[in-house]
Structures are given as structure tokens and as C-alpha cells.
Structure 1
């Protein structure tokens, strides 16, 4: 459906194909430029050629990775901002997804911010496609590498090792459960780049830098499989350039979800929120006695390898916190983050609450009126996740996530007189975004 000026009725976020480039010539050129990397650079067949993207899925994923560590108390939540910001940004032209006329209004630093943000969004979709096709994993989750380094998640937060001599890190740690083994989490890396418009030569240069970043982080001493992406989102056709999965699946690094261990980690984190470690006890992702070597002065710390079990504990709890944030239920926030966060949530969630019906069951969350007055944004979670999140049953959450599809869902017919749900996106971890129009 083409988008025109003003709010289309009924409101429909467009769906179209992006132009993917990930072939052997690109991989060979990137490998020649990535002189500082030991990674094998190869193409990603699933990302070469045209592949479909729904804008609602794009903005839903952007909201997912924008979810903060604690509730916000004013205005739209951060996970709702992408929908408001890019409501009219895209068009479907002849079946291809394009940045429309609104893209021309962003210039200079504003354009840079948009390119970076959309670069993240399309890279998340590309990573899903890559992991599903090449590694057959589901329940895919994304976590900020810098968040792991900052120690804000507690002393047992994942500790990212930066290989000596490397100056930059990738953007995201990604995990997924192998099909048939939902309690195991395998780990991957993702680097997101964005631009308004550029040449193939520049794409090669930037992707080579991204490949070097992907080689700069280890888990249990191993360099992880990684994906480097570069998205072109200037006015016109959306392009995604990508390289760098390893050539085989041997040696994947991961660990098992374990309730007893993760709950102990949760208790430690709640204590640390009350008595945070002093700045002198923290060295970029490490807590406890300060270690010899370089600290926060901009130079590299001594390498400390990321432990896979710590990473599983960290992401299990952070994922539960995301579900609690999206649910608009302060009780779930209290279960995952404590009473202080729950009190903050009660102030934040003054918007109307709603329960809606999807083919994957009921979803509960909150409503926000979209500009134009003809449509409402629903953000929430599948209701089946409420009980395990409240009980901090991380194993049950993992089992549920293993059966949630990642494709755009369709709606059951609502009862007469109810809200008319028009479009919906459900991510693998149970988060729901929907556009609802009135009858």
C-alpha cells in the first residue's frame, strides 16, 4: 500500500522489499580491506537480493532495543518513540520499501541521527534473517555491548573482553536458542552501520571496519560468529549491505538457562541497586577490587573474557525486565526490578490499559493515540508470559519463546463494538506492537 500525505484510512504501515547486497565479490573486497581482523569474511545468501520488511516489525524491534533499565515517568516510553518518529517516513513504491518525502526534511546532524537509528533497525531484521537461515535458532534477543561494559547491570554482569590493540567494539550481543533445545542460548555479534547515501567503495571500507570490530570481543576465549551490516536510508530504495558469518557452525559458544543460578544473580542485583559499588571498584565491566592496568581514561583495560553462564543469567533477567516494562503491569516490574522501580512504573503508566486478541492468544498492555486521531498504538506482551515473569521462572519463559513465531501475526476478528486491530508485530520473546483503528 502506498503512503500518501496525511494519515491513510484505514491506517496501514507499509511493507515492501529492501535491496540486499551480500555476495562473494563484496565479501572478497571487504576481506582485503579488513587487515586488522582474523575473521573469515563470507557472504550471507539469505540477505542477497530482495527480501521483505514490514515497517511495523522494524519499528517494533527498534523499540525493543530502546527499552531502558527502569520505567520512565513522563511522555511516551522509549519503546514507543520509534513508531511516533517514523510514522510517515516510509513508502511502498512498486513493492519496494523506500524512504519517502519526509526523509528530505532531515539534514546534517539530524540526518546522521536518523541514519544511525535506521541502520540499527534494519540490522536487527537482517540478523534475524541470518540466524534463522544459517543457524536455525529462535527466541532471538539483542543486548547492548556497552551496557555490559558499564557495570550498570551489577557486579556479575557479562564482562566483555576487548582483544589487545583493538579500539572499537561491536554494537550488539545477540543470542538465540537452537531449534529443539530452548534452554540453551548460543551467542553471536552484530555491528550496525547506517548512511544516507554512499558508494560501493565506501560500503566496503565501512564494512571492513565493522568486521574488525566483530573480531574484538570474545566469550569463553572464542571469537563469536558475527554479522556486519550497512543500511542506506536516504530518500528512495532502502539498501542493506552485509557480510561476515563464519563458513561453518562448529564451535558455537553458549550456555544453559538455569533458574537457580539466574535467581541468585537477580538477588545480587537487587542488593547492588541498594548499595552500588564505588567508582574506584569498577574497571569497565569488572567489579570488586580494582585491577592493575588501564581504567576509564580512554585506554584499553586488561582483557577479561566474557563468561557464557554470566551472560545467560544477565540476558534472562534483562529480557524479563523488558517484558515487565512492556506489560504496563507494576507487579511484574516489582518482581523483576524491586519496589522502587514498581512505584516509578505506577507513575509512568497512566495511559489506558487494554487486552487484545491475537492468533497467538491474548496480549495485555497500554494504548497511545497516534497523530491524526484515527489510530491507536498498542504496546504489550502475550498474556501467557505474565505468570512466568512474575515468578521469575526463566526456564518457562525460554520454553514459551521457543514456540513464538517471528513472522508478522494476523488478527482474529474482534467482538462487535471492540477496537479493530489492523496490524500487529510479535517478536520471538513475546513483545507485541499493534496498530488499532476504530470501527
Structure 2
């Protein structure tokens, strides 16, 4: 059958009062009474009620035979119905076509736990407005990130995800067979970004997959996620990198607030706050002093911030500065990678930073060490196998410019922005140590 009637979304029905329209979607709910039959139809834009008075015709039996989540196409007249909560209108059907009848019972319902819902993620997304809004927000947020990066002269690259060696450490890298040898899934585009700036691509931007073989079962870790990466060359100091990121995030968050702020408030109960720039900054040494004064790390042995420390220092900064974001800078060299630059007068520190948003670390960045002799020394100090790193180290032997950059997880940014409990809710299909399906 060829359909020439244009599909109308449920959100657009108020503009079609008194007209006959065609709507398509899923059966969200059925209420079948002795004299009246009610169907709530759902599409990606919202829901509407379809109301049929039993008349002994074919629609009576068809509606009685429907099951929840069946895919249907309905033609009918849009009429005012002030008593109907779904927009004060309803559709009086003239024809109903069952495109695909759903089996019953459904494998998930409103009482299903999060792991079981992940088993049936396509149904979970379809049935919950939060999920549909999440992906609309993600799209707008990514557009905002790309807009800012492009305006600042960034070239968007797509770096390899298959590597011949296990980058800086084999501990968090997935190994796989590659013809007659081994290959590794990239745990970061870091080295390729640096190769790009050495190739004369001044500013690099990428949104792409990242793989981490971490046996982490927390609410904020995944074994595969989408990374947002930037590398900037010819910089004077790490401050340029932080200034770039804070302005990029402020721009992208503003785009989300403008396009979806009202919907996010209604669905997630969260107010999207467009951050003021610059973001507050605090050195790691000062952060530790503030935290220990409040009882954190009573033994005084922690060199890095744990999740509790991140939450505490972010709460302190919010009270002190009235800001959701906080840069923590100058991490000890002992807890940072070999390629982070160190101040000339403090070789025990790095010109690096983490960005916290509402108490959760969302970004790691740094000025990189671009001097070949210094980098080689730091590589050896960290015990990294220089033989497997030769392609990377060669990048710095022939005039690599000063540069720095950062990496962030897209799903973690969305999780914080929308106030979600777990990163599992912030992605389409989650991958973790115990999940490779669906």
C-alpha cells in the first residue's frame, strides 16, 4: 500500500485542529471500555490520545486486539478535548493500520531494574521520554563543541583506533589478533593528536571512540566511550589550554540551555546553568591543604584526589566561588604520564589539570613535553619501554612545537549535566566489564 498522506508528529497536532491527519507511532496505553475505546499513541515527539466510540464496525475489534508497543499508523480528525491532559485535544480515528503487532507480555516494565532494562535497551529508550531527550541534548551539545572548535581554527581529525603497540601502558589496553600479530585498541588519541600538531596541523579536534580495559564497576566508568579531544600548538603555557576548554564548554552548555533547558527542567528536574568564564582554579597543593583541614586523608599520604576528595573540594569551591566548575592544577609528576611538561623550578610537579564539574572529574589535560631530550629522560624515569614507543618519540626529534591539550568523556559530561545516577543512562548501548550485549 502506498501512503501519500504526510505523517504529522504528535507535537505538531495543535496546528491541525479540525483537519484529518495521519500519525504513526507506538501504542503507549489502551483503555477499552464497554462503549468507548481509548488509545494513547506515542512517537519521538510526544503522545496523543485517540478516542473511538464503539459502533460495531471494524475498528472495535481492531482496537480490542491491539497490544502495548505495537507499531501503528492512524488516520483521523483532530478535535478539541479540554478534558484530555495530553494537549487538550484528541484524534477521532477513521482508519487504523497495524504495522507490527508487539508480542505480549513485554520483557520490561516500570518495575524492571537498571541491568534488566539494559538487556532491552531499545525498548527502554522507546518507552521513556528521558532517553529520547538525552540523545537530543547530546546532539546539540556535540554541535556546540564543534562550533566553538571550528571557530577557533581547529581541524577535526579521525585518528586510528588500532595501534601496533600498547601506548604508554599495557595495563588498560585491549589486545586483539591482527592477522599474524597483535594489535591494541586505542585508549586515547593522545599520541596521534601530538603527531598531528607536529605535522603542522595547528589545532586538532576529535570526537571519537575510546577504549579502556579497566575492570571498573563504578557509576562513572565504561570500557568503551566517546572521547572529546583537543590539542593546541604554539602555546605559551597550560593556561591557554584551560581557557580554550572553559570557553568551549560554556558555549556548548549555552546551546543546550537555549534549545532544551525547559525540557530538561521538566523531565530531569535539573536547571542547566551556563557557566561564567573563567572557571575558578586551585593548585593540587592548596586543594590538599583545604581538604585535610576538613578531615580528608588524615594520614596525609594521598598524592591524588579520590572521588570523595573531588566532591569535597568542588563543594568548597561552589561555596567560595559560586561556580559548578573547578580546575585543579599542578598535579605531582608521580601520578601523571611521562609526556606531561614539568616546571623548570619544580620537577616534582606537572603543568597539568583536571576539570571537576559538580564534584566529578570530567577532563584531564596538560601542556605536553615537546623537547625530545627531556621527553626521553622522563620516559625512562617512568620505566616506559622506549623501544615500543619509537614512532611516538620520533615525533619530537624534528622540530615539534610547544603544545597542550585535553580529553573528556562525552557521556560523563552528559551524566553530570542531566543529573543522571550512572553513565549507563548517558549512552545508547553501554559497554562495561560484564556487558558486551546487546
TM range (shorter): under 0.3
TM-score w.r.t. length of structure 2: 0.26
TM-score w.r.t. length of structure 1: 0.26
Structure of larger gyration radius: 2
